Each structure stands twice: as C-alpha cells, then as structure tokens.
Structure 1
Amino acid sequence: MPQSTLPTRQQLSRDQQWDIEALYATPDDWEAEAARLPAELDALNQHQGQLGHSPDQLAAYLRDEEALRLRLNRLTSYASMSASVDGQDTVAADRRDRSTEVASRHAAATAFAQPELLALDEATLRGWLDQAPLSEYRVPIERVLRTRPHVRSAEVEQLLGALGSPFGSARNIHPTIANMDLDFGSVAGTPLGHGTVGALEVSPDREVRRQAWEQYADAHLSVQHGMAASYVTGVRQNVFTARARHYPDALSAALAPGNIPESVFHSLIRTYQDNVGIWHRYWQVRARWLGLERLREYDVKAPLSDRAPQVSYAQAVDWIGEGMAPLGEEYGTAMRRGLTDERWVDYGLNLHKRQGAYSNGVYPVKPYIFMSWNDSLGSLSTLAHEIGHSMHTHLSWQHQPFAHARYTLFAAEVASNFNQAMVRRHLFATQPDPAFQVALIEEAMSNFHRYFFIMPTLARFELEAHRRVEAGRGLSAPDLNALMADLLHDGYGDGVQMDRDRSGITWAEFSTHLYSPFYAYQYATGISAAHQLLASFDEDAEAARTRYLTFLGEGGRLDPLEALQNAGVDMTGPAAVERTFQVLSGYVDRLEQLLSHREQHA
C-alpha cells in the first residue's frame, strides 16, 4: 500500500517480521560463530586421503562436512536475510560479504572430496552404499558418481572452490547498486523504490503509472553500463566454469545438477513462441477494457476494476488455508502455524527493504519467507507462492534425511505455483462478485505475466547472452538493451506501443535472478507442471492429493523429472506447457466475456 513515509525497520511491529532470532539471538552471537567457523571448516582437510580407507571413514567425513554445512547455511542465511530487509544497512551488507568469504573457505576445504571419491573403485563404493554408515548418503554419492566426466583433479577442484568468493563479486555488485545507490525519486508523494514500484504500477491513475514505470527504468538506465559490466562478468564466469568442467556450454552445465535434458529448456521456448499469440490477444482485450487504442508498457498492469479488493494479511491467511484444504488437515495446520505464530514471514513494508520475495529454508530451524505486503490480491498470491516453497521444505525435512532433503530449483517452482493455482481456483468458486472476479483475473494475469511472459523472455535473453560470449563476441549495455527490447516485442506484438530504451533495461531490474544461471525458465516449467497437477484433482482428488504430497515429501531424493513423472506429470514434452497456455487462454476468454457483458449494459 503506497505510503507518503515508509517506516524504518525498527518501527515495524514484531508480528510483521520474521523470527530471525531463532538463528542467532543477537548479532554478537553471529559474530562469534563467524569467528569460529573458518578454522573448523579448514579442519575438514584432515580427512583428505582417508575417504577410501573404509565406509566408516567416508561416513565420518560426510557427517563432519554436513554438520559444518548446516552451520554455514545458518551463518549465510542470517547475513543475507538481514541485508534483504534493509538495503542501506552497511553492517548487514558487510556480514553478507564476510559470509560469502566463509562459504568460499568451505568450498576450498572440501574440494578434495569429489576427486577422491571418483578415484575409488566404483563397484567397491557402490557396495559400501548398502552398509549402514553410508546408506543415508546414497543419493548425494550417486550424484557425485554421475559428475565423473566433469570433476577435475583435487588441485584444480581446490582452485575452482577458492574462486567462489571472487566470482561472487558480480552476484553482489549488481544488487548492491540496485539497493543502495539508485535514487528513484518519488511519485505522487510516495517514495519510489523496489518495495513500492509494484503498487504504483497498478495505480488507476495513468500518469502515476507512467511516472513510476519511467522513473524506475530511468534509474537503472543511469547505471546501465556498470550493471551491464557486472552481468557480462557473471556470464563470462558461467562460461569459464562450464569449460573448466568440460561441459559443451553454460546451459548444459546449469541443467546438469538436476539431470534436466537441454530438450526440456528448448521445448519450453518453442512452445512459448508457438503460443505467444494468446498474449497478443490479451493485450487487445485489455486495451478495449481500459478504453485505450493501444497499450503502453505502463498499462499492462493497470487495474481493470475500480473496486480492487483490499486484502489484509489475516484475511489472506484464511483464504490460503481454505484454498489448500484439499491437501488435508496436517498440511493446513502446519501451514497456518508458519504463517502466524511461528513467524516464518517477513511481510512488513519498511524503508530500504529490497525488492521481490523468496523462501529460504534454514535446516533444522524453519523456512523463512521474505516479501512486502500491500493489502492486495497480488500480495495474497505472492504469499501463497512462497508458502508453497516453505511447505515443500517443511515436508521434505519431515520425510527425508538432510542429505536427501534439498530439492532442485526445477521442483521448487512447481510447489509454489501449485499453491497459487489452487487458492485462485478456490476464490473463483467462492467469490462470485463480478468486481472480485475481474480483480482475480487481473491477479492471475499478473502472475502469468511474470512467470509465463517475463521469465521465458529472460530465459531467451540469458541463452542469447551466453551464446554470444561463448562465440567470443562482446556485450555492452546497448547490446543487452536491444536484445531485451527485441524479445519483449515478440511477446507484445502490435498490441503494446513500446519505449524501446526503457523496456530494454528490463534485464537490469532482475538483479538476483540472472546471477543464478538459467534459473528464470524454471518459473515457466514450474507453473506448467503445477497446472497439470491441479487438473488431476478434478479426476480423482484423493489419489491426486496422495501423489502430490508424496512429491513434496520426496525432497531431493529423486531427480525432479522422475519425481514429477511419479506424480503424473511428464515435463519432457510440450503437453504441460500447452495445457497451461490453455488455462491462460481461458482467463482471456473469461475477461472478454465480462467485457462484452459490461459493454452491453453500458
């Protein structure tokens, strides 16, 4: 909700903030752990040369490494979470940077393990996996064996591990500029920033929307060359690492950990391009509804209803609970506790809070959710999305040992989008007021715009950027901006009159997504698998519930494509993506019907 003056972090009520004290009671406790941990991480080197002596000695290393990795995760999470809630807290930013250094120490100290494991006789090692000390580590060891062609000598691995900190610079520079150095000004008396731009871009006042969209883009354009240098550095790092590990390209290297064939990525892109006409039709319907001859970029989120529902956090918790009821009482009770009493969620809007939303599981403490609440259906949708991640984490912790609990990003985006789709279906069925229905379509289309329009476009952008670097070509800010504008034009067609310069800087507005290489496409595959799963509840709800909860409880025990196959979704072909485009088309149809009814009764 736009405010003339945002509260400081210290002015937020406790219930609007996550329970970060569950990680460390005070910053001094974090400092003490940060001082202790590096030497203990370095001590893992004492296991070097011992892993092949016996299953007991290998298990001892894995237990020691796991215990320290859990502590490291707590250390880095506290630091990054503290920096997220106040982008101008220099002490928190320093902790985040120092935690990156500690993580690099961990990578260097454990670099010997993969080469040493792979030097063992494979038949002997597989025989050890049947013995009690190692059985709970079967999955990660099997995945190490799968990387055999891409693991280098211990010396090279140690060097690659030590590169974690300097290579992390690009990942940190871009968001640091975005969160600490940009001056966005204000719009209609409201400070413009990462936490407020979303609300301003859905203002019913077109001039407010225009100013917010343009000023937000202009701020990024003012530092476009620095951001481009940072991003291209990240791309070059990805290409370097892929080549160092003997992958054919950066895409295959990024997909390898989840055992995702490149064909899945390319199938998504082809199916998006084949169905982009649905988006073109939506822009036309939206323009008619708004009474505009042609949309501008700042109109794609303009409110269609003049009675947008005001949704409090408490109301959202109730509606999400009702919507997810088909998953059963146990799921619902745990979810409600996390959203309320256990304070998983940091939802208060405060000065200098960074943009976006995320869920971060800190085993074995709790999953955490970061977002900014603005009393809208959009906030409800974001909360439903993030609690999907958090419940995925919660159930994987319940059913898997830690070594098997960490699921891939590909699987993660299924659970989050499934929750959104299920809650939305519940609201369509229980809130018949036409104004609410229009607002709900808006929310759905806003969600699809991000996950099924922007994210496939960013995926295409990433692919082309990496291909150019792999071909030895240079990339400048104008190159990146022109590429982004061209790709957006494919999606807008003739339905949106573009400002190419300001649209072109869209890539720079994603200061975190693009630094996890080829992450963005997984939003689109995730939303596709989610709608395929939701459809199965119409056929046999009890069987679908069992399969879906089993999928969540699998955590990372199975590769994501296999886990989804067991749940009834085949992501190796275009069917799930095509089904989701049909859902999108259905929303456009519904909006067009409401528009026709409105025009007839005007």
Structure 2
Amino acid sequence: MKLKKRHEVPDEHKWDLDSVYGSVEAWEKDYARVEEMLPQLTAFQGRLGESAATLLQALKMRDEVSKLLEQVVVWARMKEDEDTANSTYQALSARGRSLYAKATAAAAFLTPEILAIPAETIRAWLDQEPGLAAYRHELENTLRQKAHVRSPEVEELLAQMGEVGAAPSDIFGKLNNADLKFGTIKDEQGNEVELTLGRYLRFLESPVRDVRKQAFEALFTTYRKFRNTIAATYASSVKADVFYARARRYPSARAAALFGTNVPESVYDNLLATVNKNLPSLHRYVQLRRRMLGLDELHMYDLYTPMVADVDRKIPYEEAVETVLKALAPLGEEYCEIARRGMTVDRWVDIYENEGKRSGAYSFGSYTTKPYILMNYQDNLDSMFTLAHELGHSMHSYFSRRHQPYHYADYTIFVAEVASTFNEALLTDYLLKSTDDPRLKMYLINHQLESFRTTLYRQTMFAEFEHIAHQRVENGEALTADVLDEIYYDLNKRYYGTEGMVVDDLIAVEWARIPHFYSAFYVYQYATGISAATALSQQVLTEGRPAVERYLNFLKSGSSDYSTNLLKQAGVDMTSPEPIQQALDVFARLLDQMEQLAG
C-alpha cells in the first residue's frame, strides 16, 4: 500500500504541534526573542560573585533563555521529522541547532564563575536568599567539581584540546558510516543485496541460516581488514579519556566518567560481579536457543533470530492503547487517565508512517510542550511494545515537568530507561497472565529473554571490555588490534559459554564496530536501567499501593537529587548488588517457563 503524504494524514493520527506554534511566523518571533535575550544573559559575566541576588538573577535568566530555546529547537526538529524531505523545516531545524550552540557558548561562563566563588560564601547565600535555596542541589552539585577544576591557564588549554579529544570518535564515525562497504549477500529469495549497517540486524534475524551466516561473515571480514586502523583510533580515544582524567586529578578514567552523575564506582563493580556470577543462566539460555532452533551447535550469528516465529496477531492502534492501559492499571487511575488522554484526545502521538517521515520511534518535547511520541505504528505486537516503551518516557517527562521547576525537570541518562523498561515489564506480565495460547506465551517470553540478553548481559560485557581496555592503558600497556581481539574474544567465550556454542573467530573483531565505545563508560547504564526497572515493576506487582506511591514519586522527582538517591527512595538501592540479582532472577524464572513450554 502506498504511503500517504503528510498533508493526507488525518489530524487525529498526528501529534498536536500547533499548540506550540501555529505557524512559522510564530516560531520566528520566539527565535528572535531568544537572540535578544542572550545579551541579557552575558551581561552577568564577571558579576556572579557580587551577591546572592545577582547569582539568583543570573540563574533565573539562564532558565528563561533555556526554556524558550528548547521550545524553539524542539518544534523545528519535530516538524522536520514529520517529512524529512521538507526543505522549509530542514532549514528551521538547522537554524535551531545553530541557535542552541550560540546559547551554549553564551552561558559557558556560569559554571567557572560559580566555582570561583568560595564554597562557604555560596552556602551562606543559600541560607540567606530564599529564592536561591531552590537551586541548592544544583549549586552543591556544581561545587563538587571544585577539586577537579584547574588553574585558568590549564582550563584554557584543556578547552582548546576539546576538538583533539573528539577526533577519534569523529574519525571512527566517518570510517564506519561513510567509507566502509560490506559488499553484497544473497537474501532469502536468492537476490543479490547490498549489506549495510542498517540492514545487518534484519539479516541476523532471518529464519534462513545461510543469510545470517553470510551477513555475519561479510560484516566482520570487512572490519577485520581495517582492524589495525580502528585499533589505533580506539586506543587514541582511551588515551584521551585517561589524559583528561589525570589532568583533572581523578583516580581513573572510569572515576571521571561516573563523577558527573555522582554514581559510586561500586555500582559498576557490582554490575560486573553479579552478572558474571549469573552467567550459568545465560549458558542455559544459549542451550535452549540451540535446541529450539533445531541446531547441533549454535554460532554467534544464531543469537538474534527469534526462537519463536512471529505471532500473526493484528493489533490496531486503538486496541494497543486499551491493552497498554490495562497493563498499566496497577499504577492507578490518575496515571492511566493521563496516559489515555495523551495517546488519544490530547494527541501526544504521531501514530503512522507517512512519506518522508523519520523512521523508528522516540519520546521528545520541552518543558513547555506536551511530551510527544513519534511512532511508525505497524498493527503488531512489536509496535504495541514500542508504544508502551515510549509512553514510559513521556509519562516520566510529564510528571517531572509538572512537579519540578525548570532546572530540575530533566532526568539523567542513568535513570532515563527505567520508566520505559518498567512499562514493557508490566505489559509482558499482563499479556502472559491474560492468554492461554502457548505460542503467544512463548513469543512473549522470547521477547523478554532477548531484552535481558541484549540489554543486561551484552551491555555488561561491553562495560567489562571498556573497563579492561582503560585499565590496560592506565597501566602503561598498548592497545593493539591483537590485544583488543583477545580481550573481546575471551569475554564472549566466558559470557556465552562453549558447550554446544561455537564462539566464531570473527566475533573477536566486533569491538571495532561499537560506536558507544567512543563515549566511555556509558553503556553500563543500559544494564543498570533494566535492572532497576525490573526490580521496581516486581515491587509494584507484589506490594501494590506502597510501591506504586514510591514509583510515582520517582517519576515526579526529575533531577532534584542524585540518581542513586532517587532510585533508593523508589525502593531500589543501585549501590548494592540486589537489584541486579533480582533482575537476573526474573530472567531465570522466564527461562524456566520457556523450557517447560518448549518441552
């Protein structure tokens, strides 16, 4: 069926962006207002130490600029995503990005100047000036950085090194996205098709084993040809991490990375230790997968194809909304009514695909807008899960913006995936309890098991690789292609096991294709996120109202405290191994169910 053009899509199927700006002219007025406000912000430069009142005025001015800027940038970006071929909105989105960069530069003086004020002075001001007290957590968090701020001369040099430090990531990005070509393979119909990064996962999910094998071998044979170049690029990235950590007097690159969100290093260590202790469950899963696929031995290219074929179940959007709401019923009437209105009458969701629309799905918006959701809904189970996932993000944003001032309304990456994965867990639980169809049950359990494998186990393996690589450089060792291959291959053997499992030689070079490795010590947060979400969802399902209240308070908290503190108040202590173990216990129980159903 031919896709509709954007203007042919009925309004009820589109998100309501007119409530932000009804015309380009209205957007232009606010764009101009932001430009006019920037000199008012920079007028505070050099003056923050004058008094509590001056500091308060500067912070309020920053928030006023940022709030309007976000609205301007978000609207232009979302209009562009409606139809990526529309040159008008391409231009507006580009202008929005430029304005954002200009505003970021204009506000750059704030943190260094705050840090130049004696800590005891700021704390006295917090007690004296009631308005400033609303910024207490933000200012205390800024003061934490003081021990790692160097002299003005050193800071200037470090700032000038910014582009150099970003070079390895830029080089890898150009090589990976533009220059590498992976050749062609034969698809399920025997047609010669080009292998691209975008198509790779689809080929790995193919029911035809030879298609999976071809894709795997073509991709990693290509990376292996460039392994020395990519190893030098990645080694440079790790060396840059170590350099910046030492320049700012952190004990390690990992300590520097975790400092920003005030996450103790014990959280990272607990994750690695607890997942490694539970590797026998992953080995069991691998063996179950081998049996269910009817294979004598499992290869690395057999890990993504579904163990259970797609359940041919048509789920129109309206039915998906009702099912998701039933699944979320344990969260209470207020949550569900807000969610219902958001997905229907308030038009948070841009539902269906149209010609030129951005692919995929996301939750987006600003403090002053609705928490919008972009979908490309396909009337199937996967799309219903995606809707539940993105709704989790949007409800987190809704409650946070409603209950927090602007400067605390956002939330950190450490907790960003909690609400979305929580919703998926409740949906899975509801669907499993409301069907007697063994095939549907197996499909749902397969979906959940794969979420755990790819998000908890695999991302932890990535986190362990990063940790080892950085430790090697900190110990003065070289990261050659051979060294990186050996580290990565040994991790795969340990994680997936070797009984009935062939850890193919080519998997050794997979480290060379992971762009997240150029944002060091980032991926562990996917694993901690699914662990926290699983533990919280289990509490809601077993404890009822007390756990619901804790969870809703978490959604309302934004970034008003450190992430680990907010999760602790919700009922999950991420500084202990317990939430990781609880999530892995759920994985083991799902595995038991799948083994029973498979016979």
* TM-based fold match above 0.5: yes
**Aligned equivalents of 1:95, 1:480: Cα separation in 2:** 43
Please name the residue that 1:569 is paired with.
Answer: 572
**Aligned equivalents of 1:457, 1:371: Cα separation in 2:** 30
Residue pairs, 1:516-595, within 5 angstroms: 516-595=519-598
Given the alignment, which residue of 56, 61, 66 partners 2:58? 61
Please name the residue that 2:296 is paired with.
Answer: 293
> Bigger shift: 140-149 or 220-229?
220-229
Given the alignment, which residue of 275, 278, 281 partners 2:278? 275
Cα deviation, residue 41, structure 1: 4.6
Residues 582 and 238 (structure 1), Cα distance of their counterparts in 2 relative to 1, 3 Å cut: same
One-letter identity of the residue aligned with 1:342 = R
**Aligned equivalents of 1:163, 1:85: Cα separation in 2:** 38
Residues 480 and 536 (structure 1), Cα distance of their counterparts in 2 relative to 1, 3 Å cut: same
Given the alignment, which residue of 122, 126, 131 partners 1:129? 126
Residue pairs, 1:120-519, within 5 angstroms: 120-130=117-127, 131-154=129-152, 156-157=154-155, 160=158, 167-168=165-166, 170-171=168-169, 174-175=172-173, 178-179=176-177, 185=184, 187-188=187-188, 196-217=199-220, 231-306=234-309, 308-310=311-313, 312=315, 314=317, 315-340=319-344, 342-344=347-349, 348=353, 358-369=362-373, 376-476=380-480, 479-494=483-498, 495-501=500-506, 503-511=507-515, 513-519=516-522
Cα deviation, residue 17, structure 1: 7.3
CA RMSD after TM alignment: 4.0
Cα deviation, residue 463, structure 1: 1.4
Contact 1:108 1:159 in 2 (8 A): no
Query: Which 5+ residue runs of structure 2 have no aligned equivalent?
Result: none
Contact 1:378 1:443 in 2 (8 A): no
Residues 247 and 81 (structure 1), Cα distance of their counterparts in 2 relative to 1, 3 Å cut: farther
Question: TM-score w.r.t. structure 1 length?
Answer: 0.84
**Aligned equivalents of 1:192, 1:430: Cα separation in 2:** 40
**Aligned equivalents of 2:235, 2:90: Cα separation in 1:** 23
Cα deviation, residue 469, structure 1: 3.4
Cα deviation, residue 87, structure 1: 9.8
Report the 3-state secondary structure (helix = DSSP H, G, I; strand = E; otherwise coil) of the residue aligned with 2:206.
Answer: coil
Residues 345 and 149 (structure 1), Cα distance of their counterparts in 2 relative to 1, 3 Å cut: farther
Output one character per residue of 1:159-187: Cα deviation in whole Å (capped at 9) or x when no partner.
Answer: 65566566555555545655555556573
**Aligned equivalents of 2:43, 2:571: Cα separation in 1:** 46
Residues 571 and 162 (structure 1), Cα distance of their counterparts in 2 relative to 1, 3 Å cut: same
**Aligned equivalents of 1:137, 1:525: Cα separation in 2:** 28
Contact 1:528 1:577 in 2 (8 A): yes
Bigger Rg, which one:
2
**Aligned equivalents of 1:488, 1:89: Cα separation in 2:** 45
> Bigger shift: 65-74 or 523-532?
65-74
Output one character per residue of 1:207-265: Cα deviation in whole Å (capped at 9) or x when no partner.
Answer: 33334444555565676666555544543443333233221122111111221110110
Residues 481 and 379 (structure 1), Cα distance of their counterparts in 2 relative to 1, 3 Å cut: farther
> Bigger shift: 565-574 or 381-390?
381-390
**Aligned equivalents of 2:168, 2:555: Cα separation in 1:** 33
Residues 466 and 9 (structure 1), Cα distance of their counterparts in 2 relative to 1, 3 Å cut: farther
Cα deviation, residue 77, structure 1: 5.4
Contact 2:349 2:375 in 1 (8 A): no
**Aligned equivalents of 2:271, 2:381: Cα separation in 1:** 28
One-letter identity of the residue aligned with 1:423 = L
Contact 2:242 2:470 in 1 (8 A): yes
Residues 80 and 218 (structure 1), Cα distance of their counterparts in 2 relative to 1, 3 Å cut: farther
Cα deviation, residue 106, structure 1: 4.6
Question: TM-score w.r.t. structure 2 length?
Answer: 0.84
Contact 1:48 1:113 in 2 (8 A): yes
Residues 71 and 369 (structure 1), Cα distance of their counterparts in 2 relative to 1, 3 Å cut: same
Aligned length: 589
One-letter identity of the residue aligned with 1:201 = L
Report the 3-state secondary structure (helix = DSSP H, G, I; strand = E; otherwise coil) of the residue aligned with 2:417.
Answer: helix
Query: Which 5+ residue runs of structure 1 have no aligned equivalent?
Result: 597-602
Cα deviation, residue 110, structure 1: 3.5
**Aligned equivalents of 2:91, 2:472: Cα separation in 1:** 34
Report the 3-state secondary structure (helix = DSSP H, G, I; strand = E; otherwise coil) of the residue aligned with 1:129.
Answer: helix
Output one character per residue of 1:427-477: Cα deviation in whole Å (capped at 9) or x when no partner.
Answer: 110122000001001100111111112110111122123223334444355
**Aligned equivalents of 1:86, 1:498: Cα separation in 2:** 43
Residues 461 and 9 (structure 1), Cα distance of their counterparts in 2 relative to 1, 3 Å cut: farther
Output one character per residue of 1:545-582: Cα deviation in whole Å (capped at 9) or x when no partner.
Answer: 11100011011111122112212212211111111111
Residues 326 and 33 (structure 1), Cα distance of their counterparts in 2 relative to 1, 3 Å cut: same
Please name the residue that 2:110 is paired with.
Answer: 113
| Identical-residue share of aligned pairs (%) | 37
Residues 348 and 312 (structure 1), Cα distance of their counterparts in 2 relative to 1, 3 Å cut: farther
> Bigger shift: 56-65 or 158-167?
158-167
**Aligned equivalents of 1:445, 1:268: Cα separation in 2:** 18
Contact 2:535 2:579 in 1 (8 A): yes
One-letter identity of the residue aligned with 2:52 = P
**Aligned equivalents of 2:66, 2:566: Cα separation in 1:** 26
One-letter identity of the residue aligned with 1:496 = M
One-letter identity of the residue aligned with 1:550 = N
| Pair 1:52 & 2:56 matched | no
Cα deviation, residue 489, structure 1: 2.0
**Aligned equivalents of 2:356, 2:227: Cα separation in 1:** 24
Contact 1:111 1:158 in 2 (8 A): no
**Aligned equivalents of 1:528, 1:124: Cα separation in 2:** 41
**Aligned equivalents of 2:490, 2:88: Cα separation in 1:** 41
One-letter identity of the residue aligned with 1:528 = S
Cα deviation, residue 71, structure 1: 4.7
Residue pairs, 1:13-28, within 5 angstroms: none
Report the 3-state secondary structure (helix = DSSP H, G, I; strand = E; otherwise coil) of the residue aligned with 2:371.
Answer: strand
**Aligned equivalents of 1:82, 1:244: Cα separation in 2:** 42
Report the 3-state secondary structure (helix = DSSP H, G, I; strand = E; otherwise coil) of the residue aligned with 1:579.
Answer: helix
Output one character per residue of 1:23-69: Cα deviation in whole Å (capped at 9) or x when no partner.
Answer: 77788998998898678657644312211212221112112222333
One-letter identity of the residue aligned with 1:536 = Q
Contact 1:396 1:405 in 2 (8 A): yes
Residues 274 and 67 (structure 1), Cα distance of their counterparts in 2 relative to 1, 3 Å cut: same
Output one character per residue of 1:502-532: Cα deviation in whole Å (capped at 9) or x when no partner.
Answer: x234445443x33443221112112222222
One-letter identity of the residue aligned with 1:497 = V
Residues 76 and 575 (structure 1), Cα distance of their counterparts in 2 relative to 1, 3 Å cut: same
**Aligned equivalents of 2:443, 2:454: Cα separation in 1:** 17
> Bigger shift: 479-488 or 451-460?
479-488
Contact 1:200 1:212 in 2 (8 A): yes
Cα deviation, residue 149, structure 1: 0.7
